[in-house]
């Protein structure tokens, strides 16, 4: 995702967004389990740490980890997404499903997903990293038994938040797609991710983004480049554009069965 200029993403995916209101030894290409579909679908020291866990399995890999293997796309920029573009002209979506057939999400079929799984067989955790058509990292989705979250005081301005339809049957608080800015010492940290419930505006603690799904946990977040937006107005304009709507739709399409 980039902060100022965006190439055109699928019109159908943008429309879908509006209508919807770890890491271990094995790397696997999403092309092995992606099904095309025409249907639309931080900056200061931590104060406290919260952990949600079901079993003592290894923690997920850092979202900054790059995939390995011949199927991995070749990024045109280094580091996290923020300068990416989506290939124009695509009207299809693909569906990615994690091992175990419980968690899935939709993404533009011209994009790529790389899956990293734990060393156990069958894998009990995995991190899916989503890349756009140019190889820029756009989002990470983790599904597994354990996840750690760091929290600290912030002042928040929420731009948009909506419940995720495919996760509403999971334990409360209900998972929401949320896009907001956290203020810390005159710095703004923009986040678009799944939150447990609707995050409030005003003084609060940073959201860890850990969602309960069945006996496991789920963490899903868009990967912004450093300082992606010059202002809140720029952030809102990006959200209204094709790329912002595509990533919003991706988060809103996450489901658990």
So what's the pLDDT on residue 91? Answer: 56
Residues 6+ apart with CB under 8 A from 185: 43, 44
pLDDT in tens, 64-81: 333 333 333 333 333 344
Strands 255-256 and 26-29: unpaired
Bond from prior residue into 173 cis (ω within 30 degrees of 0): yes
Average pLDDT rounded to a whole number, residues 233-248:
97
Helices 232-240 and 242-252: crossing angle in degrees, nearest 10, is 70
Residue 119: band (very low, low, confident or very high) from pLDDT cuts 50, 70, 90: confident
| Half-sphere exposure at residue 103, Cβ-oriented, CA atoms within 13 angstroms | 29
So what's the pLDDT on residue 123? Answer: 77
Q: Compute CA distances 228 → 26, 30, 98, 202, whole Å.
A: 32, 27, 29, 22
pLDDT in tens, 151-202: 899 999 999 999 999 999 999 999 999 999 999 998 999 999 999 999 999 9
Rounded to 5°, the CA angle 193-3-62 comes to 45
pLDDT in tens, 194-207: 999 999 999 999 99
On the question of pLDDT at 147 being above 70, the answer is yes
Helices 11-19 and 242-252: crossing angle in degrees, nearest 10, is 50
List, in sequence order, every residue forming a beta bridge with 71; answer none if it has no partner: none
Residue 1: band (very low, low, confident or very high) from pLDDT cuts 50, 70, 90: low
- Backbone torsions φ then ψ of 106, nearest 5 degrees: -110, 150
| Half-sphere exposure at residue 171, Cβ-oriented, CA atoms within 13 angstroms | 9
| Half-sphere exposure at residue 125, Cβ-oriented, CA atoms within 13 angstroms | 24
- Average confidence score pLDDT of the chain: 75
Average pLDDT rounded to a whole number, residues 92-121:
93
Average pLDDT rounded to a whole number, residues 13-38:
41
> Does the reported pTM lie above 0.85?
no
Q: What whole-number distance in Å separates Cα of residue 148 and Cα of residue 133?
A: 30
Residues 6+ apart with CB under 8 A from 255: 103, 104, 105, 164, 165, 166, 167
Q: In which order are the strands placed within the sheet that holds 103-108? A: 35-37, 93-97, 103-108, 255-256
């Amino acid at each position: 995702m980039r902060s100022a200029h965006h190439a055109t993403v699928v019109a159908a995916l943008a429309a879908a967004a509006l209508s919807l209101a770890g890491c271990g030894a094995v790397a696997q290409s999403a092309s092995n389990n992606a099904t095309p579909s025409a249907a639309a679908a931080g900056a200061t020291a931590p104060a406290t740490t919260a952990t949600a866990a079901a079993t003592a399995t290894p923690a997920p890999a850092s979202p900054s980890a790059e995939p390995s293997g011949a199927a991995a796309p070749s990024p045109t920029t280094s580091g996290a997404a923020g300068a990416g573009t989506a290939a124009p002209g695509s009207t299809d979506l693909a569906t990615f499903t994690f091992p175990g057939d419980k968690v899935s999400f939709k993404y533009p079929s011209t994009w790529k997903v790389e899956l990293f799984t734990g060393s156990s067989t069958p894998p009990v955790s995995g991190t899916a990293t989503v890349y756009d058509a140019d190889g820029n990292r756009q989002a990470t989705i983790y599904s597994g038994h354990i996840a750690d979250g760091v929290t600290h005081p912030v002042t928040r301005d929420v731009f948009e938040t909506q419940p995720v339809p495919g996760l509403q049957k999971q334990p409360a608080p209900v998972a929401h797609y949320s896009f907001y800015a956290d203020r810390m010492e005159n710095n703004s940290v923009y986040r678009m991710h799944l939150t447990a419930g609707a995050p409030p505006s005003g003084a609060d603690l940073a959201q860890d983004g850990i969602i309960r799904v069945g006996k496991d946990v789920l963490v899903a977040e868009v990967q912004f480049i450093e300082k992606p937006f010059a202002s809140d107005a720029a952030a809102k304009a990006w959200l209204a554009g094709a790329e912002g709507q595509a990533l919003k739709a991706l988060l809103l399409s996450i489901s658990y069965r």
